[in-house]
């Protein structure tokens, strides 16, 4: 089972719903693979949720695009890795891969604020047709990216300077650092 909890409509799924679905996947030998709800200031809570899902659903967990995004998070990857290692030590099978780029791109829908997606595509289209709502959506889109970062001209603006120019690779386990040149997992938004 795979989730991308930062992108609508996935943020509306409750932890309990995700545990139930992951448990069903586990009955058939599946895993829970996720792009967590946050990779910025809420990353530790997102990790707690992800680890809880794996523990309570009794399934292995794979965190994809693991990073600490945004300038305020620079240097915090050591705390993220420590939490993952503690979960592994407690018996939860958690692995992760790093985001391999210093710049990012996502579809237009990722820029539309989550509140505008509430109710599905029909409601989003309805809101886009309303000039007042469209103006509010436009304001929210230009003020912040979906991950909370301010929009910046430099595509690497959210990336920790210590990791720019390095070449991250897939990690078999969260604690492994296979980055050429060393450093924490990439910090840029995806």
- pLDDT tens digits for range 24-36: 999 999 999 999 9
DSSP three-state, residue 61: strand
Number of Cβ within 10 Å of residue 19's Cβ equals: 20
For the chain, give every residue range classified as CATH 3.20.20.140.
1-105+154-190
**List of residues 6+ apart from 104 with CB closer than 8 A:** 155, 188, 189, 190
Spatial separation of the C-alpha atoms in residues 91 and 135, rounded to whole Å:
49
**May I ask the CATH architecture of the domain 1-105+154-190?**
Alpha-Beta Barrel (3.20)
Question: Which pLDDT value is given to residue 57?
Answer: 98
The per-residue pLDDT for range 52-92, each reduced to its tens digit, is 999 999 999 999 989 888 788 888 999 999 999 999 999 99
Model confidence, pTM: 0.63
């Amino acid at each position: 089972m795979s989730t991308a909890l930062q992108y609508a409509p996935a943020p509306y799924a409750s932890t309990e719903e995700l545990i139930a679905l992951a448990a069903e996947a586990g009955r058939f030998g599946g895993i829970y693979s996720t792009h967590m709800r946050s990779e910025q200031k809420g990353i530790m809570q997102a990790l707690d949720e992800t680890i809880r899902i794996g523990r309570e659903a009794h399934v292995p967990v794979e965190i994809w695009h693991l990073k600490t995004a945004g300038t305020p998070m620079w240097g915090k990857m050591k705390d993220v890795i420590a939490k993952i290692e503690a979960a592994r030590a407690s018996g939860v099978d958690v692995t992760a891969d790093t985001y391999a780029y210093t710049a990012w791109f996502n579809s237009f829908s990722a820029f539309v604020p989550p509140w505008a997606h509430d109710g599905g595509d029909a409601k989003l289209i309805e809101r886009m047709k309303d000039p007042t709502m469209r103006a509010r959506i436009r304001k929210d889109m230009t003020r912040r990216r979906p991950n909370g970062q301010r929009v910046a001209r430099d595509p690497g603006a959210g990336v920790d300077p210590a990791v720019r120019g390095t070449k991250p690779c897939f990690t078999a386990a969260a604690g492994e650092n296979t980055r050429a040149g060393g450093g924490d997992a990439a910090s840029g938004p995806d």
